[in-house]
Structure formats: C-alpha cells, structure tokens
Amino acid sequence: MITKKELPVFTLGVEEEYLIIDPETRDLRSHMSKIVDGAKIILKEQVKAEMHQSVVEVGTNICKSVKEAREEITFLRKKIVELAAKQGLVVGAAGTHPFSKWQDQPITDDPRYHMIVNELQDAARSNLIFGMHCHVGIESREVGLQLINQACYFLPHIFSLSTNSPFWEGRNTGYKSFRTKVFDKFPRTGLPEYFDSVQSYDNFLETLVKTNCIDNPKKIWWDLRLHPFYNTIEFRICDMSLTVDETICIVAIIQAIVAKLYKLNTANTSFNVYRLALIKENKFRAARYGVQGNMIDFGLQKEVPTKELILELLEFIDDVVDELGSRDEINYVHTILREGTGAAKQLAIFEETKDLTKVVDFITSEFTKGI
C-alpha cells in the first residue's frame, strides 16, 4: 500500500486565455500588445500574446499545490485587469465571445501565427476561442503515457464542468460548449490516440515531422497530451472558466485523477482503457449538455445523469484528496453542480434580458469574483 510519503508531488502549471473587451461596445478589442508588453515588465514569461490580438494568455509558475496555483491565478487575473484598465479596456473569461465576429479580429504579427494561418487558412483565422490548460508534473514520459491512456476516460467529465461557450457570432448554438466544435476544424485535435509505448509515440511524431505534417511536436493539439519539452501531461480540453473558484476546482480534480491513477498503477491495479469511439460519445454529450444531461456509464452499459458520474468521480479520487491538500477546492464542484456551469449562467442572463451585451457584462463582472 502506498503511503503519503511515497506519493510524488504532482506539480501544477495552469494557463488561462482571457477576452480583452471594449467596455462601450462590449466587443472584443485588440490591445495592440500594450497589455502584454506592460505585463512582461512585471510578469516576465508568465504572459504572452495569442493568435488574435484581442486575446491574452497567462501562465502560472510551477506550483507545488492547488493552493499555490490559486494564489498565482488570482494574482495574474488582478494584474491583467489593472493593465487593461490603463488602456480603457476590461477583461473576461469564457470559451467564446457571445457575438464577436472573427473576421473583425486582427491576427497577432508573429511568424508562428503567420505560419499557422498560411497553412490552415480560415480554420485558423476563425479559431477565436479561449481555453484553460492544466499541466501536471510526472516523473517520466513512460509513466505519463500510461496515465494519458487511462485518464482519457475522465476527459468528458472534466470538460462538462468547464462548459462556458454557448454563443457564437451572436447565436445561441444549442451547445454548452461550442468552443470545442470551432477547434475541431484544426488537424490533430480531439481525444488523444492510444499508444502502447513511448517508442511508438515517438515514431508517430517522427513520421509527422519527416512528412512535413508538423515542424515541431507542439502542433499536436489533442485534448490531453505529453508535453513535448517538459515532464508534464497537459489537459487541454477545458473551456475558459468564469471565475478563479471554477478554474481551481477543475485543476484540483485533474491533479487528483492523475494522482489516483498513478497510485493504482504503482499497486499494479491499473484503470481500464476504454475505446475512443465510446469516450467520443461522452465528449459530445458534455459539449451539448454540460452537466445537465446524461453520459454513458460504460460499466453499466447505460446512460446515467452526468451529475451522478461526477459524484462517482469524487468517490474514485477521495483517497488521494487529503494527501494533495485540495479537499476544499474540490468540494466547490458541488456549487458548480447546483448553480450550473458558466454556460448555464450565460444562457440564464440572455433568457432574462434577450441582450447579449448584458451577457458580456456578466462575463466581465465574474472575472474577479471571489478575489
């Protein structure tokens, strides 16, 4: 049996992508690199521009605990709000902007983004979406690959809790996360392939590079991937959450899943690996309905309320939560299940007001909630 001492420190790195918004029009607004340039003086490499000039990405330093990650995300959100205010702009967090047109948003002048746009054309130009990525430190790529194969099952569960993009170009899409449907146009996206060894994975990468499909492994944009340069596995499936509380809750659940799977593997009791075709069915349901629909319980071979599967997930990870020191953060999931995800809240505001500018106001007002 593994003791607390034997459980490694599963370090965390969290990346968030923010909407930069004109407070008068409520549309996305180019910050002309002023926010990023100003932030680099204080935050160094923790902030960078994204493909579209109306997006700012921030990233934490390496954090040893969920509580450290909360402190960093709180600090980063505060700083970006302050720097945006100096430019007469406001900041929000959602998977998509409710009505902005991608055709109106300029691309950042950077060789990397020019290369992507040149290759992918309108698929890249229209990729006006915002996500949260969570890196979890692992001891080796071999261990990381095992964990990815098993953690894939839980991706729809995690994703359902983050859903926060019901609108696209002024329309109610009918999805709780339309962001993932926008990103599907990119190659090498979606659920990760199964690999039985690091050698087979590296052979796959080598083939892609040799045949000019990619020039570097960072252009593998799966929902969960081995990071090409660091000893981390990177969860990329989540929409950008409205609040710090939601982000940190999801990050804590991700860390606990990795820790629990590691613990099982070390005890030679590995978790089942399910067919991608089945997991894709649950991913669709998560995108369409968030936590308010049903997903498939593969063990029972029937559909059950997504909320029940989330509660089962909490039971599954319960024995590592206290070792990780994240029980308070994970317990916030009950608030998400009770009040709904960001998507449900956005839809409620629109149902009440019939005004998408009010939805934007809600998104920006929630950005610093609780901090």
Q: Is residue 5 part of a domain?
A: no
Global confidence as pTM:
0.95
pLDDT reported for residue 48: 80
| Span 345-360, pLDDT tens digits | 999 999 999 999 999 9
How far from the centroid of its chain's Cα atoms is residue 15's Cα? 8
| Span 291-326, pLDDT tens digits | 999 999 998 899 999 999 999 999 999 999 999 999
Q: Is residue 139 part of a domain?
A: yes
- Which residue reads 């060789």 in tokens? 111
pLDDT reported for residue 32: 64
| Span 168-181, pLDDT tens digits | 999 999 999 999 99
Q: Is residue 57 part of a domain?
A: yes
Whether pLDDT at 126 is above 90? no
CA distance linking residue 235 with residue 233, whole number of Å: 7
What integer is the mean pLDDT of 237-254? 98
Token pair belonging to 322: 């206290």
Dihedral of the alpha carbons of 323, 328, 334, 340, in degrees to the nearest 10: -120
From 185, 167, 163, 158, select the one nearest 239 (Cα to Cα): 163
Whether pLDDT at 207 is above 50? yes
Q: What percent of the chain has pLDDT over 90?
A: 78
pLDDT reported for residue 346: 98
The number of beta carbons lying within 10 Å of the beta carbon of residue 249 is 26
Q: Is residue 291 part of a domain?
A: yes
From 167, 89, 97, 99, select the one nearest 129 (Cα to Cα): 97
Average model confidence (pLDDT) across the chain: 93
| Span 12-28, pLDDT tens digits | 999 999 999 999 999 99
Q: Is residue 6 part of a domain?
A: no
CA distance linking residue 247 with residue 254, whole number of Å: 11
CA distance linking residue 272 with residue 48, whole number of Å: 38
Pairing of strands 294-297, 302-305: antiparallel
CATH of the domain at 60: 3.30.590.20
- Which residue reads 């926010």 in tokens? 35
Cβ atoms 129, 167 nearer than 8 A? no
Q: Is residue 4 part of a domain?
A: no
Specify which residues 188 forms β-bridges with: none
CA distance linking residue 248 with residue 75, whole number of Å: 13
Question: Would you list the DSSP string of 224-236?
Answer: EEE-SSSSEEEEE
Q: Is residue 320 part of a domain?
A: yes
Evaluated on CA atoms 17, 168, 364, 38, the torsion sign reads positive
pLDDT reported for residue 273: 85
Contacts of 329 (CB under 8 A, 6+ apart): 66, 67, 70, 248, 249, 251, 252
pLDDT reported for residue 292: 96
Helix H segments across the chain?
A: 34-43, 66-86, 111-120, 122-125, 141-151, 155-162, 179-183, 198-210, 244-266, 276-289, 306-324, 327-331, 333-339, 342-353, 356-366
Specify which residues 55 forms β-bridges with: 19
In three-state form (DSSP H/G/I as H, E/B as E, the rest C), the secondary structure along 272-309 is: CCCCHHHHHHHHHHHHHHHHHCEEEECCCCEEEEHHHH
Domain count, the chain: 1
> Domain of 130?
12-366
CA distance linking residue 363 with residue 91, whole number of Å: 9
Altogether, the residues listed in the chain come to a count of: 371
Q: Is residue 167 part of a domain?
A: yes
pLDDT reported for residue 1: 41
Res. 2 pLDDT band, cuts 50 70 90: very low
